[in-house]
Structure formats: structure tokens, C-alpha cells
């Protein structure tokens, strides 16, 4: 197996309930916790979650936002995640009862895909399309 390079692009999301978001992204979508930095009350100051097939996302609680990122509203983002296991992820999301605004389908550009919403409304599209070479 070849070693994957470290991610160099990190979508950064903010959540009102960051601990709940970490649990959802790990337990339902299948991310892996790489780093979770809680405050003394258990809220998430900073977290890094890795996708098993490469890449990752960063997230944290809205209460720790400052600067230009403080103006970002939680739940207004969209992320595309490439996976060879779309059907497995879809089944896990479906079993969780999470909202799926776009069901499992095949696209004209060759992706087997679906879109689910996390508990705060961010849209996550999972598909097999890896982008143009």
C-alpha cells in the first residue's frame, strides 16, 4: 500500500454543537478522530477528522471563532467526499435516520453518489467521482 500524502486542503466548519458534530461525523459518516481539543467544559476548541481514504476536515465550536471566521454561520457549507464505498456509507447514513436531500443515484459524469445533511445543515456529498485528472 502506498502512503498517502498529508492533506493540504482542509475544509473548516463551525458548529453550535461541536461535540455532537464530531460524534455524528465519526459514527454516521465514518470519519476518524485524529485530534480533538476540548475546553474544560467539554466543548470543542479544535478538531481534525480524517477520511479513511484520504483527506480530512477541521471543525470547532462557534463560541471559539474570532476574526473573519466568526462571521460564518454554522450549517451553510457543502463538502464533497470521495469514496469507493458509497453504498456502505449510504446504508450507514440511512440507518441513522439523517436527512438525505439527494438520494443514491448515478450521474452523467460517472459518479455513484448521494447527499446527506449533518445535524446543523451542512451538506455532504459522497461519491465515486475523483475529479478531472
* Per-residue confidence (pLDDT) for residue 12, from 0 to 100: 93
* Per-residue confidence (pLDDT) for residue 74, from 0 to 100: 87
**pLDDT string in tens for the chain (133-residue length):** 566 667 778 899 999 999 999 999 999 999 999 999 999 999 999 999 999 999 999 999 999 888 887 888 889 999 999 999 999 999 999 999 999 999 999 999 999 999 999 999 999 999 999 988 8
Integer Cα distance of 29 and 115 in angstroms: 11
Integer Cα distance of 106 and 43 in angstroms: 39
Contact 47, 22 (CB under 8 A): yes
Contact 63, 89 (CB under 8 A): no
Could you give the angle at the alpha carbon of 109 between the alpha carbons of 13 and 130, nearest 5°?
Answer: 45
* 12-127 CATH choice from 3.40.50.970, 2.30.40.10, 3.10.180.10, 3.20.20.70: 3.10.180.10
* Per-residue confidence (pLDDT) for residue 126, from 0 to 100: 98
Contact 82, 127 (CB under 8 A): yes
pTM score, whole prediction: 0.91
Amino acid at each position: 500500500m502506498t502512503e498517502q500524502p498529508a492533506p493540504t486542503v482542509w475544509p473548516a466548519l463551525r458548529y453550535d454543537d461541536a461535540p455532537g458534530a464530531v460524534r455524528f461525523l465519526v459514527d454516521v459518516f465514518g470519519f476518524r478522530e485524529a485530534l480533538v481539543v476540548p475546553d474544560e467544559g467539554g466543548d470543542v476548541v479544535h478538531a481534525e477528522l480524517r477520511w479513511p481514504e484520504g483527506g480530512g476536515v477541521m471543525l470547532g465550536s462557534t463560541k471559539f471563532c474570532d476574526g473573519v471566521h466568526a462571521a460564518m454561520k454554522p450549517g451553510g457549507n457543502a463538502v464533497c467526499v470521495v469514496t469507493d464505498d458509497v453504498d456502505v456509507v449510504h446504508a450507514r447514513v440511512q440507518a441513522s435516520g439523517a436527512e438525505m436531500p439527494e438520494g443514491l443515484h448515478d450521474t452523467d459524469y460517472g459518479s455513484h453518489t448521494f447527499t446527506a445533511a449533518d445535524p446543523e445543515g451542512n451538506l455532504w456529498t459522497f461519491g465515486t467521482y475523483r475529479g478531472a485528472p
